[in-house]
């Protein structure tokens, strides 16, 4: 059975909504103030990212949406359903029901960890900020709330800029994911094993890597990892490029946050399902690539990665940026 056919999405959502814990207690006035400040921070962050990168979100792009944990769950189940499709399994079957419990439980856990998420696969594509989680983390880290909210938005607005400047990127990544997943057969025991290990965290082993059986699937997986390493690493680099000038306590925030590293949205889910926590230190590898390219050819040169699928770095190039730089020097420019 394919992965799409092994999931009862409605049952997964019901499970997740039943298991998701409440966020921090906020009075009505405080909650409204948090929502307003996050929206304002997202607007300021977008301007800062544009000034630093030279890349901007087109006018008319959907505004940021500030949501709660159930809102995030609904949005991500819809996106997952859109990515995987309905499959050819029986929604009411035993495998689909068992899988729904595992998927729902994992998503309920992730919904407490995600701070912000740009969803490139949604309709419409939009930036979501999960207010209760932002408040929870800023309190736990004991950092300045205004600084932390802007800092989070810098990362997420960079994702919005990436996919806006490279409108082909979402379809390219969707195609890579679909091609990879279409070649995988699953049963209830496999899904249960993977979801339980994902839920247990980064220290556990087990992912879709366990289902990779041939060289073609490994090559496809390497392509996906390379793209997502670039996307996440680039956002981290731009966040750090902008941060010192506009976030006074950025050094403290970065130091305390790195010990906690959020599992962000669809990307965090994909990282765990694809085994990327174990296979590749995604943020570090992607950020190291971007910093090396910046040092060599500047921001305009780094922006060239968003030109077309052909200018994206491969897995070997992420690990050795000189390979990408050499290839770009010999690639005809449009």
18 in a domain, yes or no?
Answer: yes
When divided into structural domains, the chain yields a total of: 1
Query: In DSSP terms, which residues pair with 119 in a beta bridge?
Result: 126
312 in a domain, yes or no?
Answer: yes
CB 210 within 8 A of CB 177: no
- What are 150-182's pLDDT values in tens digits? 999 999 999 999 999 999 999 999 999 888 877
Euclidean distance between CA atoms 98 and 195, whole angstroms: 11
**DSSP tag of 260:** T
pTM of the model as a whole: 0.83
99 in a domain, yes or no?
Answer: yes
What is the pLDDT at residue 334? 44
- What are 188-238's pLDDT values in tens digits? 555 566 556 555 554 444 555 555 667 887 888 889 889 989 999 999 999
Q: Within a 10 A sphere around the Cβ of 30, how many other Cβ atoms? A: 12
246 in a domain, yes or no?
Answer: yes
- What are 63-84's pLDDT values in tens digits? 899 999 999 999 998 888 887 7
334 in a domain, yes or no?
Answer: no
Q: Which domain holds residue 44?
A: 4-329
**DSSP tag of 220:** H
- The label of the residue with tokens 């960079």 reads 158
pLDDT of 113 strictly over 50: yes
113 in a domain, yes or no?
Answer: yes
122 in a domain, yes or no?
Answer: yes
128 in a domain, yes or no?
Answer: yes
Per cent of the chain over pLDDT 90 is 51
pLDDT of 273 strictly over 70: no
């Amino acid at each position: 059975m394919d992965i799409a056919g092994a999931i009862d999405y409605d049952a997964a959502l019901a499970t997740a909504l039943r298991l998701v814990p409440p966020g921090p207690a906020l009075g009505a006035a405080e909650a409204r103030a948090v929502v307003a400040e996050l929206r304002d921070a997202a607007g300021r962050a977008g301007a800062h990212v544009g000034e630093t990168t030279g890349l901007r979100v087109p006018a008319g792009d959907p505004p940021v949406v500030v949501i709660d944990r159930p809102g995030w769950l609904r949005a991500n189940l819809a996106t997952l359903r859109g990515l995987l499709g309905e499959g050819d399994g029986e929604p009411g079957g035993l495998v689909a029901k068992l899988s729904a419990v595992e998927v729902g439980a994992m998503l309920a856990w992730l919904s407490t960890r995600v701070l912000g998420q740009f969803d490139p696969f949604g309709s419409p594509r939009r930036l979501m900020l999960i207010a209760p989680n932002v408040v929870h983390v800023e309190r736990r880290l004991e950092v300045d709330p205004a600084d932390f909210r802007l800092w989070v938005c810098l990362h997420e607005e960079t994702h919005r800029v990436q996919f806006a400047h490279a409108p082909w990127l979402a379809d390219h990544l969707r195609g890579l994911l679909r091609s990879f997943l279409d070649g995988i057969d699953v049963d209830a025991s496999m899904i249960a094993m993977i979801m339980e290990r994902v839920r247990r965290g980064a220290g556990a082993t087990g992912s879709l890597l366990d289902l990779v059986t041939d060289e073609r699937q490994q090559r496809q997986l390497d392509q996906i990892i390379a793209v997502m390493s670039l996307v996440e690493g680039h956002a981290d680099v731009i966040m750090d490029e902008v941060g010192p000038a506009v976030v006074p306590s950025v050094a403290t925030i970065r130091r305390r946050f790195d010990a906690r590293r959020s599992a962000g949205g669809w990307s965090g889910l994909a990282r765990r399902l694809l085994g990327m926590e174990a296979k590749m230190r995604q943020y570090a590898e992607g950020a190291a690539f971007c910093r090396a390219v910046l040092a060599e050819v500047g921001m305009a040169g780094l922006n060239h990665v968003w030109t077309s699928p052909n200018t994206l770095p491969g897995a070997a190039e992420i690990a050795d940026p000189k390979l990408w730089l050499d290839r770009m020097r010999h690639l005809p420019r449009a």
